[in-house]
Amino acid sequence: MVYRKCNKCGIEAHSNTECKDKKFIRSADSLHGYRQLCYNCTKTDNSTKKMRDWKTKHQVWKRYKCTTEEYKERMSTSACCEVCGKTEELCYDHDHATMKFRGVLCRGCNRSLGQLGDDLEGIMKVVRYLQ
């Protein structure tokens, strides 16, 4: 008996365990707890790409109050962290009060700046401590 069958590629799963192994998408709304679409087909599905584009546009506006075009343009101003020079995990750094873009930082520098109060006073306290 076929438990789940991908509507796109036809891959079959005959048990709950096979659904996990063959990476069917979990869904509380489905009869057997899995959608009838495997992970690979979901990844290449055009409707998923449209949703991803919409989510990106929505998230960029929600977080940074700018369009995706402005976000991409600002992120392209630097290919590395403007503090330490790393090129991995680059983040959009902005002033949370004014939403003004400040620069491109790596994840570590961006988090450190936030933990120090996101202002010069917090950073100077650390400098004085280290001195």
Asked if 113 contacts 105 with a C-beta cutoff of 8 angstroms, the reply is yes
Whether 52 shows a pLDDT value over 70: the answer reads no
With a CB cutoff of 8 Å and minimum separation 6, the contacts of 100 are: 94
User: What structural domains does the chain harbor?
Assistant: 4-44 (no CATH), 49-74 (no CATH), 77-131 (3.40.1800.10)
pTM: 0.57
Give the burial string for 42-61 (b: 16+ CB within 10 Å, else e). Answer: beeeeeeeeeeeeeeeeebe
Find where tokens 């096979």 sit. 18
**Helix, strand, coil percent content, the chain, rounded in steps of 5:** 45, 20, 35
Asked whether the predicted pLDDT for residue 19 surpasses 70, the reply is no
Proportion of the chain above pLDDT 90, given as a percent: 38
Helix (H, G, I), strand (E, B) or coil at 46: helix
Q: Show the DSSP H helices in the chain as ranges.
A: 16-21, 39-44, 46-64, 68-75, 107-115, 120-130
pLDDT, one tens digit per residue, over 56-107 is: 888 889 989 999 899 999 999 999 999 999 999 999 999 888 889 999 999 9
